[in-house]
Amino acid sequence: MKIGYYPGCSLQSSAKEYDRATRLVARHLGIQLHDINDWNCCGATAAHSMDHFLAAALPARNLIIAEEMGLDVTVPCAACYQRLRLAHRVLAENEETARDISQLIGRPYKGKVRIYSLIETIAGIGLEQLAAQVVRPLKELRVACYYGCLLVRPPGTGCDDPENPRLMDELLEAAKAETLDWGYKNECCGASLVFSERRLALHLIRNILRNAVDAGATSIACACPLCQSNLDTRQGQVNKEFGTSFAMPIFYFPQLLGLAMGLNPQDLGLGMHFVDPQRAIKAVSG
Amino acid sequence: MPRIGVFVCWCGSNIGGVLDCPAIAQEAASFPGVVFSTEYKYVCSDPGQKLIVDAIKEHRLERVVVASCSPRLHEETFRQVLRRSGLNPYFLEMANLREHCSWVHPDTPEQAQRKAVDLVRRAAAKAARLEPLFPGKIPVVRRCLVIGGGIAGIQTALDVADAGLEVLLVEREPTIGGNMVKLDKTFPTLDCSACISTPKMVAAAQHPNIKLYTYAQVEEITGYIGNFKARIRQKARFVDHAKCTGCGTCWTKCPVSVPDDFNLGLGERGAIHIPFPQAVPNKPVIDLAHCRRSTRGKCGACAKLCPAGAIDYEQKDEFIEAEVGAIVVATGYGLFPWEKVYGEYGYGRFPDVITGLMFERMVNASGPTSGKIQRPSSGKEPRTVVFIQCVGSRDEARGKEYCSRFCCMYTAKHAHQVLEKIPGSEVYVFYIDVRTFGKGYEEFYRRVQDEGAVYIRGRVSKVYQDGSKLIVKGADTLLGEQVEIAADMVVLATGAVPAAGAADVARMIGIPQDKDGFFQEAHPKLRPVETHTGGVFLAGTCQGPKDIPDTVSQASGAAAKVCGLLLKDELETNPLVSRVNEALCTGCLACQPVCPYRAIQPVTITERLPGQPPRERVVARVNEGLCQGCGACTVACRAGAIDLKGFTNKQLLAEVDALCL
């Protein structure tokens, strides 16, 4: 399978390991990822909170390039995914904006590109095919799949049911992990509020971690760079602020899939976590 | 040309506030055939009617034009005026200056004035070509079919039967009683639902004029007002009710255990079962889908144990054909399927999130827990109970736009019951608005608040399981704060939707449904129990959500209409029906499939033309009892052989000419 790949900025910086794991797992599964030529920022947060037009125009440029490459697009980052999907919708539904955008970019968008989250792309090869690639079943792993907000919302643009998403759970179940039905799988992690409203964001992160622990999780799987970053890098601050003692490893879901497929943990970026995931990894590797 | 009189009505300020009525009357005087024209504040009033009567006499009027409101409102009123004056009542033509003009064009009075004059000119042109019409007579079968044996159907059946008419009461479930008999206590008086409904069930079953068919369905309706034919399927019960004594041996000994549908899955029942101990008839049916003898080929315990030898595994469905003069549809309501759309309440994944009707069964003394309120997950008594209102109602995005009307009150009653039965319990009610419109309702709501129920105005954003607790997150929009409650049980006030199968009933009888699937009444205010199909009436929640008092009132209203219809010796038919000119009809029958009332049938006539031998020929014929005068056939007729009486091609063309030439 051949598909356009829109990594987004985070996957070149704070979420490098998400990018590495994604490329490795995709190659292993026979998914050919073609980077969108000369892609630009999706406009997340900065553009969409300041300027409606730019919020659509920035992702639109990426869609136009993908269309010219003749490819659909898969997006690992939840925010990028949502921006691209919303831009696609704006272009389809608002003629005037679509005209202005194509004038600005210099080429029109025909609306042919389909935008998938990475979860959908991997699920698209079939759960049985995925299960067939598993050499190291994640039997010892009790995973709370954490979808956050942008991947499934607003309803109609998300990749799964906004209230009870299951797609990531199904992928990890195919890798023989034990997934949990827990209450915070689609709650907000505070996202970039962690910079401006630190205490509020830490409170939200604490709630997610606590709920996962209460549900019996030994690790959390994410599909969003900001979710992972907040839950992983801020865990120490949460412990300090609230007197808790969380030590919950926060994985990107392709890292876990790669592990199950027998890929090298180092190559999957499993040494780049703040909260040491070694115990969870050892449990899997036996 | 006949002598025409024109009467322009002000309708107070409804028409007179926008249009210059004296000017319209003055202009009308110049229209062809008009010999008299005047205006009056309220033509429909007693002095207004007298004005017409006097003018007919004084000016020897032969046709009358009333320019006022919609003919749906007062056409019949003015026809009576003509009848009183010795004119054929169909010599009336109305111009709708209110709904079609003043109400819709209040901002452009000058153009409205011109339109009003045109409307009157049109009416006068048609009036000049009106022909006298005479209603026909049809006989009436003095028997009424009631579809649905809930409280609405039972009440209608009892009222009609008490008036001395025969009633067939058909219920698809094994017992009558409907939803009401599942309830525990009824608001706001807290009288026990079973105590007030089971005696009515018994009365219906024992009434000499009521023939009860339970576990039966009406499959086909043909015919027309006064003369319907119904085909009823009596589903096989596999128990001969003539032999069965209702002793109960079979249902206590049945080895099968399946979720009890009557108790909404809260308890279990056998394959052979009665829905509940006070069921009417108090005799069992076998649910073949779960019967071990049927699924595994061996068992037969009930047959072996039955002392009366009433079990008959070979029983087949039977069909009953019945002639009836009127039909009352009382098919009731079902609950909004919340599990499919409300993910924030868990899609039905959490056992302790239940519906209001499940709560009713739970708190009911003859229910699965013998009246004990308990968490389905553990069987323990809940301490904190959260009620969520408007689940499926008043939610344009995912539910229904309308208010289900009874949920506010049953939730208040549930809150009261929790506080009464569980000392020290905490009750929270999330609401959008609390609607307590009925007699004694607001008082009850206040009482429940005084008892300690905490009402929180706001929606619940999420319910999730946290250990043994359900965490309910929501907003208090009065305080502007978020609320989080650790609850033991959550009760959803699921809204009402038409009962399953309502669309099939609508199609079978030919009654329109509104956008939500409820049956459409003929007029929302003035004809609330009638439908647009003559002889078919509505009772209860099949027409729209309503509480028990309103349901019973409407049921009695429907019964009064049935009696009014069936106590006549014969019926006058509506003369505004289609007529086929057989000389022009080619027998192509293009009209037959377009008729929504199945009123057109082919007949063979013998035609005698001078100088030729008689020959047989097929033509279309309209059954005047079935025809509702919609006019669809007149448009479909290629030969122009069909005319709708009162709306003939000639009359309509005269109207077009008056407007356009």
Residues A181, A105, single domain; the answer is: no
**CA distance linking residue B76 with residue A255, whole number of Å:** 79
- Higher pLDDT, residue B411 or A139: B411
| A284 pLDDT tier (thresholds 50, 70, 90) | confident
**CA distance linking residue A246 with residue B170, whole number of Å:** 64
Residues in CB range of B165: below 8 A, 6 or more apart: B142, B143, B144, B209, B562, B563, B566, B567
Residues B337-387 pLDDT 10s: 999 999 999 999 999 999 999 999 999 998 999 999 999 999 999 999 999
Range of the domain at A248: 136-285
| A49 pLDDT tier (thresholds 50, 70, 90) | confident
Is B462 within 8 Å of A183 when comparing Cβ atoms?
yes
- Strands (E) located in B16-141: 34-40, 63-68, 92-96, 137-139
Residues A49, A77, single domain; the answer is: yes
| Domain tally, chain A | 2
CB burial string B576-610: b at 16+ within 10 A, e below: bbbbbeeeebeeeeebeeebebebbeeeeeeeeee
Selected residues 132-151 of chain A with any CB under 8 Å from a CB in chain B: none
Chain A and chain B share a number of CB contacts under 8 A equal to 23
Return the residue of B nearest to A160 by Cα.
B343
End-to-end CA distance of chain B: 19
A184 reaches B (C-beta below 8 A):
yes
Measured between CB atoms, which of B343, B467, B471 is closest to A161?
B343
Instruction: Give me the pLDDT at residue B27, please.
Output: 96
A35 reaches B (C-beta below 8 A):
no
Best CA proximity match to B67, nearest among B93, B49, B89: B93
Instruction: Give me the pLDDT at residue B373, please.
Output: 97
**CA distance linking residue B206 with residue B208, whole number of Å:** 6
Low-confidence residues of chain B: pLDDT under 50: none
Considering the domain B578-645 in this protein, what is its CATH number?
Answer: 3.30.70.3270
Is B343 within 8 Å of A184 when comparing Cβ atoms?
no
Measured between CB atoms, which of B342, B349, B467 is closest to A214?
B467
Residues A260, A149, single domain; the answer is: yes
Measured between CB atoms, which of A161, A163, A183 is closest to B471?
A183
Is A164 within 8 Å of B467 when comparing Cβ atoms?
no
Selected residues 320-349 of chain B with any CB under 8 Å from a CB in chain A: 342-344, 346-347, 349
The number of helix segments (H) and strand segments (E) in chain B equals: 18, 34
The CATH homologous superfamily for domain B335-497 is FAD/NAD(P)-binding domain (3.50.50.60)
Q: Are B443 and B401 in contact (CB under 8 A)?
A: no
Residues A47, A113, single domain; the answer is: yes
Which of B350, B398, B466, B472 has the highest number of chain A CBs within 10 A, making it the mutation to test binding with A?
A: B466
User: Which residues of chain B does CATH 3.50.50.60 include?
Assistant: 143-235+317-332+499-566, 335-497
Largest Cα–Cα separation, chain A: 59
Instruction: Give me the pLDDT at residue A46, please.
Output: 81
pLDDT surpassing 80 at residue A285: no
| Sheet with B326-329, side-by-side order of all strands | B210-213, B166-170, B143-147, B326-329, B536-538
Q: How far is A215 from chain B (nearest CA, A)?
A: 7
Instruction: Give me the pLDDT at residue B551, please.
Output: 97
φ and ψ of A169, to 5 deg: -55, -45
Instruction: Give me the pLDDT at residue A47, please.
Output: 83
Instruction: Give me the pLDDT at residue B188, please.
Output: 95
Q: How far is B268 from chain A (nearest CA, A)?
A: 28
Measured between CB atoms, which of A162, A184, A211 is closest to B343?
A162
| A286 pLDDT tier (thresholds 50, 70, 90) | low
Q: Are B95 and B139 in contact (CB under 8 A)?
A: no
CATH of the domain at A158: 3.40.50.11810
Instruction: Give me the pLDDT at residue B441, please.
Output: 97
**CA distance linking residue B254 with residue B197, whole number of Å:** 29
Domain assignment present for residue A37? The answer is yes
Is A183 within 8 Å of B344 when comparing Cβ atoms?
no
ipTM attached to this prediction: 0.83
Q: Last residue of a domain, which of A118, A150, A185?
A: A118
| A45 pLDDT tier (thresholds 50, 70, 90) | confident
| Chain A positions in Cβ-Cβ contact with residue B342 (cut-off 8 Å) | 163
Token output for B153: 């159907």
The three-class DSSP label of residue B239 is strand
- Record the pTM: 0.83
Concatenated DSSP letters for B196-210? HHHHHHHHHHH-TTE
CB burial string B43-59: b at 16+ within 10 A, e below: bbeeebbebbeebbeee
Amino acid at A225: P
**CA distance linking residue A143 with residue A163, whole number of Å:** 19
Domain assignment present for residue A130? The answer is no
Measured between CB atoms, which of B343, B347, B464 is closest to A183?
B464
CATH of the domain at A43: 1.20.1050.140
Topology adopted by domain B143-235+317-332+499-566: FAD/NAD(P)-binding domain (3.50.50)
Residues A174, A95, single domain; the answer is: no
**CA distance linking residue B96 with residue B66, whole number of Å:** 9
Instruction: Give me the pLDDT at residue A140, please.
Output: 85
pLDDT surpassing 70 at residue A61: yes
Q: Which of the following CATH numbers is that of domain B4-127: 3.40.1000, 3.40.50, 3.30.1580, 3.90.550?
A: 3.40.50
